[in-house]
Amino acid sequence: MADPRFNRILLKLSGEALMGPGKYGIDTQTLDQIAEEVGEVVEMGVETALVIGGGNIFRGVSGAAEGMDRSSADYMGMLATVINSLALQDALEKRGVSTRVQSAIEMRQIAEPYIRRRASRHLEKGRVVIFAAGTGNPFFTTDTAAALRAMEIKAEVMLKATKVDGVYTADPKKDPSARRYKTLSYMDVLQNELKVMDATAVSLCMDNNLPLVVFDLTVPGNVVRMVRGEDVGTMVGK
């Protein structure tokens, strides 16, 4: 097997990635598939951290749109990410992958508190670290949390899993001539308002030169392919 291109990665999954064919919640079969993909990457010797969103359960903006206080709604969203993190931890451990969940909001009975140095140590020992509860602050997203944690643990790349295999010139479902960008600059993404991640997350990556790869998680083997350096998804960099 080819040597991996990266030694330490942070993989960001949206909460929706756990829904499978359902409309909300967690599909255990999908969870097992993700655990399998992550397990293969870990077996290649790649130190792997994960951040998972909460959109399959609750999003702060939706709560606020229905009249809730935005901060309260965002805290609910952060708790949703903890539920997903525990689900993912369970699936990974079943697959034989050693894991730790670290939460930005303390809940000692179910997760370690987020401690950067301890997270790095877990990674060095080959454990997957799942960062739960986003940044711990309302008004942020888990994409921003993922960029922040990736920088803190000095990941070489942030892998952003989506349902399309990268960023396209147009919507490939509507426009057959749409083509995939192999690379893009952070500025391209920001100026053209390309729907890669929210602007806060993209700016954070840009200011700190953290490369980002947008790729399709629904294609089996894609995470391994990308980590091996194959042409998968769109790379966003300088």
Interface with ligand UDP in residues 56-85 (CB under 6 A):
59-61, 74, 77-78, 80-81
Q: Provide the 8-state DSSP code for 115.
A: -
CA distances from 20 to 27, 79, 218 (A): 6, 21, 9
**Does 162 appear as a known binding residue?**
yes
| E strand intervals along 56-121 | 99-103, 112-113
Distance CA 101, CA 82 (A): 9
For residue 133, the minimal CB distance to ligand UDP (Å) is 7
Residues 6+ apart with CB under 8 A from 184: 167, 194, 196, 234, 235, 236
Site string for ligand UDP, 9-48 (x = CB under 6 A): -----xxx--------------------------------
**Does 138 appear as a known binding residue?**
yes
Count residues binding ligand UDP (CB under 6 A).
23
Selection from 185, 129, 103, 95 nearest residue 9 by Cα: 129
Interface with ligand UDP in residues 118-177 (CB under 6 A):
134-135, 137-138, 140-143, 145
Instruction: Give the footprint of ligand UDP on this chain (CB under 6 A).
Output: 14-16, 53-55, 59-61, 74, 77-78, 80-81, 134-135, 137-138, 140-143, 145
